[in-house]
Amino acid sequence: MRPSNALDAFKKSDRRNAGIIVTLVGFHLAALAALLNFHWWDIAVAGALYWVAMSWGIGMCYHRLLTHRGFKTSKAFEYFLAVCGTLALEGGPISWVATHRVHHQFADKEGDPHTPNDGRWWSHAGWVMTGNANHCDTQLMKRFCPDLASDRFYLLLNTYHWAPTVILGLVLLAFGGWSMVLWGLGVRVVLGWHGTWFVNSATHMWGSRRFPTHDDSRNSFWVALLTFGEGWHNNHHAHPVSARHGLAWYELDLTWVQIRCFEILGLIRDPYVPHWRCS
């Protein structure tokens, strides 16, 4: 049943979503099964896909480009990056962007989809497993993303966001057998899920605060390492539009490094960086 108010889709709920729980459990079991039979090539493929899905797809596209418009690029390259984002299996671009925009609007207050104030486990994964899975409802979520909802490509990709992963799975099966599928999908997707979830949970509980933001965001070096720079979360909440999250020289932000490389290659232009220097 669709909520009468779109924001109700993000309210804490105790009703478990069986379909999502089965999917999460299945992928975690697949990740465990991968440990029983693997080759180094399987690990290399999983690592490369993790980079593409989490850095190019989630960090660079879903987050810094589509949610906050921290840089500009061509539609062709933007669409390519968006498809990379679907490989993380974190939902389509409209759903992901809608959830994150609501998070910024109500960060660590009532209405935040995944604040630790509602519970540590809730902020990490509990919020994904409950409710009506309205975050997968294109018609509902597009209310928060009129910019993306006006684009037919994103409407289609949000509805069929699972399709690129299915195609990828068939390719992995053809070239590397089931061990490559278990690593390239099972292990890689599960690590990506927890990486993103740690940004929602850990970086709102533990770490340092450089900026006095009106939320509980923290900078976490280990979450940044796991997510290619997304762990510098206090920096991000202080400067949401910034394409660079690691603002100090010692804050490794590999997604920003790639943005600069793509800028040099002419694929990206006008990345925004705040006028701030670490003292």
With a cut of 50, which residues of the chain have pLDDT below it?
A: 1-2, 279
Tell me phi and psi for residue 207, to 5 degrees: 130, -170
- 2 located within any domain: no
Question: Has residue 36 been placed in a domain?
Answer: no
Q: What is the structure's pLDDT at 132?
A: 64
Number of domains in the chain: 1
State how far the Cα of 253 lies from the Cα of 231, in Å rounded to an integer: 9
pLDDT in tens, 135-191: 667 788 888 899 999 999 999 999 999 999 999 999 999 999 999 999 999 999 999
Q: What is the DSSP letter of 197?
A: H
Would you say how long the chain is, in residues?
279
Neighbours of 108 (CB within 10 A): 19
| Owning domain of residue 262 | 57-166+194-269
Question: What is the amino acid identity at position 18?
Answer: A
Residue 109 lies in a domain: yes
The torsion of the CA quartet 242, 155, 191, 198, rounded to 10 degrees, works out to 50
Quick check: is 10 in a domain? no
Q: Residue 217: inside a domain, yes or no?
A: yes
Q: Which amino acid is at 129?
A: M
Judge whether 107 and 115 are in contact, CB under 8 Å: yes
Domain membership of residue 275 (yes or no) is no
Domain-located, residue 188: no
DSSP string, 252-265: --HHHHHHHHHHHT
| Residue 129 dihedral angles phi and psi, to the nearest 5° | -95, 5
User: CA-CA distance, 185 to 161, in Å (whole number)?
Assistant: 15
Q: Which two tokens stand for residue 270?
A: 């006008």
Residue 88 counted as domain residue = yes
